[in-house]
Amino acid sequence: MQAVRLLKTKDLALVDIPQPQPGPGEIVIKVEAAGVCGTDRHLFLGEFPCKGPVTLGHEFSGIVSAVGAGVELPLGTRVTCDPNDPCLTCAQCLRGRVNLCSRNSVTGITRDGGFAPFACFPARKAIVLPDDLHPHHGAFCEPLSCTLHGMDLAALRPGERCLIIGGGVIGLMAVQLARLAGAEVMLLTRSKAKQDLALSFGATAIAAAPDQVLSIWPEGADTVIECAGVVQTIECAPRLTRNGGRIVILGVLPQGQKVQIEPFDLLFREISILHSFLNPFTQQRAAHLIASGAVQVAPMISRLVPLEQLVDCIANPALPGEIRVLAVPQ
């Protein structure tokens, strides 16, 4: 079969590899859809730790086509993959901080992932989806699970004001989750199309620039969720946060990138800055929210691409206005 593999930094190719066979405790799925994440571009550029060669793709779902010894999951079951597989024995895992496990094995980063017609991974990391769920929608469970962790840290309360910075898939999911939490929500993005989509998702206000945020909410937001992963947006987040508020960083900057903040301002106004990493214990919740329709994902699909177009898609910046590209291997 053909798969999109990172051979080394800045060397991504569609190559022929053997179709995977499940070992004990593993399943193979026929991939229905796999999302192209900003992390995939970071991996390609060497801005996120990864050692090739490896088949990329950590946001994917599909149909169980083969099972290894000891697996009781029926063939034909639709599942999504929770790509993170912590060791469960280290100090961080024993504290319940499985997302901080130093031995975490990640499907699509440290083991072969979903940018291929078939993918193999531990059966214990399969989240069962409804049979009637649209075949493209399961690929959104992983990014939603990461967004859920960030929103858990934000601990929004009904009636609070929540500013989401960045109109990508994480930002637009955060808009929906904040509304479900009962918050008043504003999205900050320059994209008119993403502003309109946020309003359709229940945002109560939109802004195209930081000064516009403050013209609408002069005191700032109780919580700012940074989803853009850009130096400028992280640096402006404190200015948009009200006294006693909190900031959650969900966006991923390249490894080694620095930002400037003013500790005295954070101290004097008691602003908390939290960082959200991966998806500890949130993937099942994400699957339920998508399957129930509580979080809408269909409007965020920008285009479907075959594997033959995926290398160019990952190696180049996202197109203007693009939210989520899905690879459809079959």
What CATH number should be reported for the domain holding residue 305?
A: 3.90.180.10
156 and 233 together in one domain: yes
Per-residue pLDDT at 49 = 83
186 and 256 together in one domain: yes
d(CA 287, CA 126): 11
Question: What average pLDDT does the segment 119-146 reach?
Answer: 98
Residue 140 is assigned to a structural domain of this protein: no
Range name among 163-167, 211-215, 234-238, 326-330 with the lowest pLDDT average: 326-330
29 and 120 together in one domain: yes
Question: What average pLDDT does the segment 14-21 reach?
Answer: 97
Question: What average pLDDT does the segment 86-97 reach?
Answer: 97
Residue 212 is assigned to a structural domain of this protein: yes
Residue 216 is assigned to a structural domain of this protein: yes
117 and 162 together in one domain: no
Per-residue pLDDT at 13 = 97
Residue 35 is assigned to a structural domain of this protein: yes
Local confidence band at 165 (pLDDT 50, 70, 90 cut-offs): very high
Residue 315 is assigned to a structural domain of this protein: yes
267 and 301 together in one domain: no
Whether 86 has a pLDDT exceeding 80, the answer reads: yes
d(CA 213, CA 220): 7
**What is the share, in percent, of the chain residues with pLDDT greater than 70?**
100
Residue 291 is assigned to a structural domain of this protein: no
Helices 141-154 + 283-292 axis angle, to 10? 110
Question: What average pLDDT does the segment 305-317 reach?
Answer: 95
Whether 243 has a pLDDT exceeding 90, the answer reads: yes
Question: What average pLDDT does the segment 174-183 reach?
Answer: 98
Per-residue pLDDT at 50 = 86
Whether 48 has a pLDDT exceeding 90, the answer reads: no
d(CA 283, CA 302): 23
Cis peptide bond upstream of 263, omega within 30: no
Q: Are 57 and 119 in contact (CB under 8 A)?
A: yes
160 and 261 together in one domain: yes
169 and 265 together in one domain: yes
Local confidence band at 321 (pLDDT 50, 70, 90 cut-offs): confident
For residue 323, give its domain range.
2-128+297-327
Kindly tell me the burial class for residue 253, based on how many C-beta atoms sit within 10 Å of its own C-beta (0-12, 13-18, 19 or more): middle
**Cα-Cα-Cα-Cα dihedral sign, residues 114, 55, 146, 81:** positive
Q: Are 174 and 150 in contact (CB under 8 A)?
A: yes
100 and 214 together in one domain: no
Task: Identify the CATH number of the domain in which residue 212 sits.
Answer: 3.40.50.720
For 248-285, how does the pLDDT look when each residue is reduced to its tens digit (9 = 90+)? 999 999 888 999 999 999 999 999 999 999 999 999 99
109 and 226 together in one domain: no
Per-residue pLDDT at 41 = 93
Residue 245 is assigned to a structural domain of this protein: yes
Total domain count for the chain?
Answer: 2
33 and 112 together in one domain: yes
Per-residue pLDDT at 24 = 98
Residue 197 is assigned to a structural domain of this protein: yes
124 and 154 together in one domain: no
123 and 84 together in one domain: yes
Whether 330 has a pLDDT exceeding 80, the answer reads: no
Q: What is the 3-state secondary structure (H, E, C) of the chain?
A: CEEEEEEECCEEEEEECCCCCCCCCEEEEEEEEEECCHHHHHHHHCCCCCCCCEECCCCEEEEEEEECCCCCCCCCCEEEECCEECCCCCHHHHCCCHHHCCCCEEECCCECCCCCCEEEEEHHHEEECCCCCCCCHHHHHHHHHHHHHHHHHHCCCCCCEEEEECCCHHHHHHHHHHHHCCCEEEEECCCHHHHHHHHHCCCCEEECCHHHHHHHCCCCEEEEEECCCCHHHHHHCHHHEEEEEEEEECCCCCCCCCCCCCHHHHHHCCCEEEECCCCCCCHHHHHHHHHHCCCCCHHHEEEEECHHHHHHHHHCCCCCCCCEEEECCC
Global pTM reads: 0.96
Question: What average pLDDT does the segment 42-67 reach?
Answer: 94
Per-residue pLDDT at 218 = 98
d(CA 133, CA 248): 31
